[in-house]
Every structure is written in structure tokens, then in C-alpha cells.
Amino acid sequence: MKVCFTVAVAFAALAAVKAEASAEEALPYVDDRSDGAALVRSLYNAINRKEYARAYSYFADTQPVGGFGDFSRGYANTVSVEVRVGKVTTEGAAGSVYAAIPVAVKSVEQPEKIRLFAGCYVARIISPALQAPPFTPYQIEAARLKEVEGPIEEAVPAVCDAP
């Protein structure tokens, strides 16, 4: 009887792992750093897939305060995120291109909590013609988000300040 119980527990654990893996497989892998909006969408794709090392890698040297451990623990209760991106503005300066990306982010968290954040990301790429290997694509230089109220459709800022 004890063996049957152990086998049943093992199958239940395997089923849970398989269900989690199939949920991640259902959400396609997106890693697009071709522009600021694509970069931010890729960031939230990584967060949705619980790929926190990939999400963290989208930040430049000015990585989130507290390091990777704090960054990943910050999503411990996150079930899913949805991002809406507004009109991106770009500006060139001193051999770089900066993109200001207005966003609204809806976060579904355990236990049964929905939070909404809005604000701006600033992404930067060194002019590709000026780069030497290894090539560095767009990276997030800054993120300024705050918790807000209302529907996600209305939370995206109309414009972000120039980077």
C-alpha cells in the first residue's frame, strides 16, 4: 500500500511539472531587441515565462536596485503580466539612440490580487555603425513606473519625457 501511495505522489508531482512546462510552451518565446517597444514586450514575455535571468539581462549596467536576487524575488507572487505600449519617441545623442517607451502593466498576483502600473522605460542603443564586436542591442537604461488605478487601456501615458 505504501508503494502505491509513493507512486501516486510521484505521478502527481510529474503531472504538476508537466502542466507548468506546457503552460510555458503555450506562451511563445519572444526575444526581440530591435527597438524600444519590442525590448519592453520581450521583458514582459520573459517575466510571464518565469525566465527572470533573461528578463534581468535586458537591463544595461544600470540594473534594478538590489541585484538579480531581489529582482527575481519581486515576482514571487506574480501569476502573469500584461503590458500595453504607447507611442514611442526616439532621439539621437552622442552616438546613441534613446527611446522613451510609455507603458501600462497589469500584474495578476497571488492571492487573487490585480495591480496596475504605468510610466516610462528608457532604452538605449549605441549607433550600430559605431559598434565593434560583440554587438550590443537595445538595453533598458531606466524604468519609472508607479502604481495607478483604472483600466489598463487608459493607464498608458500619452507620452514620455525625452530621454
Could you identify the residue written with the cell 555603425? Answer: 129
Question: What's phi and psi for 46, nearest 5 deg?
Answer: -65, -40
Amino acid at the residue 51: E
Q: Residue 19's pLDDT band (boundaries 50, 70, 90)?
A: very low
Confidence of residue 32 (pLDDT cuts 50, 70, 90): very high
Does 9 score more than 80 pLDDT? Answer: no
Q: Delimit the domains of the chain by residue range.
A: 30-155
**What pTM did the predictor assign?**
0.82
Arithmetic mean of pLDDT, 83-102: 95
3-state helix, strand, coil in the chain (%, to 5): 35, 30, 35
* Between residues 14 and 115, the one the model is more confident about: 115
Q: What is the pLDDT of residue 62?
A: 79
CATH architecture observed for domain 30-155: Roll (3.10)
Instruction: Read off the pLDDT of residues 101-152 as tens digits, 9 standing for 90 and up.
Output: 999 999 999 988 999 999 999 999 999 999 999 999 999 999 999 999 999 9
Secondary structure tally for the chain: helices H, strands E: 5, 5
Q: Which residue has the higher pLDDT, 25 or 161?
A: 161
